């Protein structure tokens, strides 16, 4: 296993053109309970979104299934007209039938319909980065990848990515389009996508770790994570983000929240510089 440490967080260029700050914002939590309906505190969710430009965050990750549609609508309400450097990524391929219910749906006509809906809800003429939220096992994989190619060729989306995929999926999709990003679950406690991350690093593909703040038993008092957090006068979640940023230069964490204070904490993690010893200790602890 490769455990390469990058330098200071800096920025990353998606697809060779879209330059983003490496800590982005995940817009799933600005919806209601079960990622369904309006948020409990709509005003605070909007304030959180409007804080992004002031904090230098110019990469927002959402999906048509968040709400459904609520997240995209709130992004437009809070941030339109959009700054020229703001990159809004959205996803399609999961149908919603109720709170906490997610069903892969990758039929070509559905994916195309959802892209048009996202364009309308976000209020844009082209989606900068669109990601296939899941590969639907009930639809031939190549049909779904061919649809993504159509979306690119038609100009509806500028770049395309994949979510929750294997190395084989990425290589198969690459026969149809250039994969700009991969969004897999990855954090200190769950590194099952290590091989995918290393592949992305070798090929300059942005790696978007979802659920980036999870750290499992490492959050317990007296753990190496808590000790390092105390040393930096930071929270364990901030150290978990700092570790992700240093883990690979293609890493693009998107911690989500619906509170301004929590957003500021997450962004501040980019200023934490872990020593080589701290990085190695966290890496080894997460493998246990």
Distance of CA 160 to the CA centre of its chain: 13
What's the Rg (C-alpha) of the chain? 18
Q: Which residues are catalytic?
A: 66
Token look-up 């994916």 returns: 111
- Gap between the Cα atoms of 180 and 203, Å rounded: 10
Three-state secondary structure call for residue 5: coil
**Which residue, 247, 246, 242, is CA-closest to 272?**
242
**What six digits make up the tokens of 217?**
């038993």
Please, what is the Cα angle at 250 between 248 and 253, to 5 degrees? Answer: 85
User: Within 10 Å of residue 40's Cβ, how many Cβ atoms?
Assistant: 11
Distance of CA 158 to the CA centre of its chain: 17
User: Within 10 Å of residue 152's Cβ, how many Cβ atoms?
Assistant: 17
- Gap between the Cα atoms of 83 and 193, Å rounded: 33
Strands of the sheet containing 25-26, edge to edge, are: 25-26, 59-61, 87-92, 127-132, 157-163, 179-183, 206-207
The HSE-up count of residue 226 (CA atoms within 13 Å, CB side) is 8
Residue 160 has phi, psi (to 5 degrees) of -130, 150
């Amino acid at each position: 296993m490769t455990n390469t440490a990058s330098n200071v967080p800096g920025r990353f260029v998606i697809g060779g053109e879209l330059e983003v700050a490496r800590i982005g914002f995940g817009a799933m939590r600005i919806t209601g309970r079960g990622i369904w309906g309006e948020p409990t505190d709509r005003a605070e969710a909007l304030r959180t979104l409007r804080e992004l430009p002031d904090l230098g965050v110019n990469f927002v990750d959402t999906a048509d299934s968040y709400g459904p549609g609520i997240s995209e609508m709130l992004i437009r309400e809070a941030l339109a007209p959009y700054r020229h450097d703001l990159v809004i990524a959205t996803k399609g391929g999961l149908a919603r039938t109720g709170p906490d219910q997610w069903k892969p749906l990758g039929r070509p006509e559905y994916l195309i319909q959802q892209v048009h809906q996202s364009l309308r809800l976000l209020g844009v003429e082209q989606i900068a980065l669109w990601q296939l939220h899941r590969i639907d096992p009930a639809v031939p994989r190549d049909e779904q990848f061919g649809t993504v190619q159509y979306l690119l060729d038609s100009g509806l989306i500028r770049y395309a990515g994949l979510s929750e995929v294997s190395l084989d999926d990425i290589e198969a999709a690459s026969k149809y389009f250039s994969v700009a990003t991969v969004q897999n679950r990855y954090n200190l406690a769950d590194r099952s996508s290590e091989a995918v991350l290393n592949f992305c690093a070798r090929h300059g593909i942005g790696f978007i770790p979802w659920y980036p703040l999870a750290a499992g038993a490492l959050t317990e008092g007296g753990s190496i994570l808590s000790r390092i957090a105390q040393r930096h006068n930071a929270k364990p979640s901030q150290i978990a983000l700092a570790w992700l940023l240093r883990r690979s230069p293609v890493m693009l964490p998107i911690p989500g929240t619906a509170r301004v204070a929590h957003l500021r904490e997450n962004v501040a993690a980019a200023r934490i510089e872990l020593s080589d010893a701290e990085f190695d200790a966290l890496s080894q602890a997460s493998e246990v």
